Structures are given as structure tokens and as C-alpha cells.
Chain A
């Protein structure tokens, strides 16, 4: 997995590629938590993400809880395919605003 960091208006965007699994989830956790310290508005872009497991979902929830506590939020963009199916099946999609693309962030 590769994590690219970008800015879009007042959003910090982390664009993920390939796989968010047991082996790569800790990297997102570290990066996301450190980013939240400076800016509680984070968008995770999954347009290039092919695979997610419960280890990835755990980090999404953790980041969302931390952001909420800091008065911000974590939103998702580009959610599709297997990643979309898994997020919806888990029921945690209810706690994330999902936008089609990074460009459509408010």
C-alpha cells in the first residue's frame, strides 16, 4: 500500500492504493493520527484501493472517533467495488459521509 498526502481546500486528503489489510493498516493508523493532531478534517480517498479487511475497518473507526472528539470529521471518497461491499456489510458506512471524488468534497 502507498499513502499519498494531498490538500484540497481545508481538507487533508490521504489517497490509498492497493490493499488496506492486517499488514498495512498500522501505517494508516500512524499517519492518520499524526495528521489529526494538526487538522481534524481528513478525507480518505479509496479510488485506487482494491482491498480492505476488518483490520482496515478498525483503523477507519479509530480515526473517525478521534476526529469527532477533536471537533472534526473523517470522510471517504472514491469508495467502490469490493471495498464498498465490505464497508457496507460491516454497517460502519452509517458513520461516514461518502463523496464520489476528492473534487466533490464540500
Chain B
């Protein structure tokens, strides 16, 4: 599933929380067009929210706010979402799995890292790379949701 040959167009959003609703509407429209079954749409929303909010919250931390680019397409029985930002390099796949060990007490329970852990469970495959385009570096996170079954 890893080939990223697509002519899907990027849609640009300011990486701001108050733009999240617009991003969600865009991706749900694309999901509808690509035939993502209704029963998978709730989990898709959760995985998408966790991935996008993580970028909005941290990619441009301590820098001028930048943009987040989103594109989506259907490929080999999967709905594919690619997210791109020009913020700090961050590979969510290297983060510890926050769901591996359940919290032992209310005082111990923390939500940090939970969003990424949900994202990793919802998508069937995730790939990350950090690459140079026109002299600038960008994070690319590609999320594959199986919609064949």
C-alpha cells in the first residue's frame, strides 16, 4: 500500500485549532466520495482528529504559525490521507505506545500520548517521512484506512 503515486490535490489550511472543523468537513466529504462505509466513519474521524490536532498543537510550537496541507484519495481498497506540515521534525511512530500499559490510579492517569496511540490503532498502516521540497523540509504523515471489507 506504500506507493504514493497520486494526483490528488493538496488543500491548504492555517494550522490553527479554529480551522479544525473545516479540515474535518473536507476529509469527511472526501471519505464520502471515496466510499468509506458509514460504520468506519466515526473511527476515521477519531484517527483524523488525533493526527491533525497533534500537528496543530506541536508542529509550529515556538515558531510563527504555519500551514497544514491535506489530501486524500482511494488506493487499492484503502482510503488514504496524507498530512504535510513545515514545522519541527516529528515522527509519531517513534513515540512510546501510551495504551500499552493502562493507568494504575486516577492520579497516575495521563492523557499525553493517548491521541497518537488511538491514531496508530485506527489506521491499518501509517508511514512517515521528512523530506526536502524547494529547499524547505516538510513532515509527511500518510494514513491508510482499509475500506475493502
**Residues in A lying within 8 Å of B, measured CB to CB:** 21-23, 50-51, 53-55, 57-58, 61, 64-65, 68, 82, 86, 89-92, 94-95
B111/A58 in contact, CB under 8 A = yes
Chain B interface, DSSP helix/strand/loop, else mixed: helix
B17/A23 in contact, CB under 8 A = yes
Q: Does B102 contact A (CB under 8 A)?
A: yes
**Residues in B lying within 8 Å of A, measured CB to CB:** 17-18, 20-21, 42-43, 45-46, 49-50, 53, 99, 102-103, 105-107, 109-111, 114-115, 118, 121
Task: Name the contact of B45 in the complex, choosing from A51, A54, A68, A95 (C-beta under 8 A).
Answer: A51
Question: A residues within 8 A CB of B121?
Answer: 89
A57/B17 in contact, CB under 8 A = no
State how many angstroms separate the Cβ of A55 from the closest Cβ of chain B. Answer: 7
A92/B103 in contact, CB under 8 A = yes
B103/A91 in contact, CB under 8 A = yes
B49/A91 in contact, CB under 8 A = no
B107/A65 in contact, CB under 8 A = yes
Task: Name the contact of B118 in the complex, choosing from A21, A50, A54 (C-beta under 8 A).
Answer: A54
A94 CA to B107 CA, complexed, in Å: 12
State how many angstroms separate the Cβ of B52 from the closest Cβ of chain A. Answer: 9
Chain A interface, DSSP helix/strand/loop, else mixed: helix
Residue of B nearest to A83 (CB): B42
> Can you list 26 A-B contacts (CB < 8 A)?
A22-B17, A22-B53, A23-B21, A51-B42, A53-B49, A53-B50, A53-B53, A53-B115, A53-B118, A54-B50, A54-B111, A58-B111, A61-B110, A61-B111, A64-B106, A65-B106, A65-B107, A68-B106, A82-B42, A82-B46, A86-B46, A86-B118, A94-B103, A95-B103, A95-B106, A95-B109
A22 with B20, Cβ < 8 A, contacts A61-B106, A61-B109, A92-B103 known: yes
State how many angstroms separate the Cβ of A23 from the closest Cβ of chain B. Answer: 6
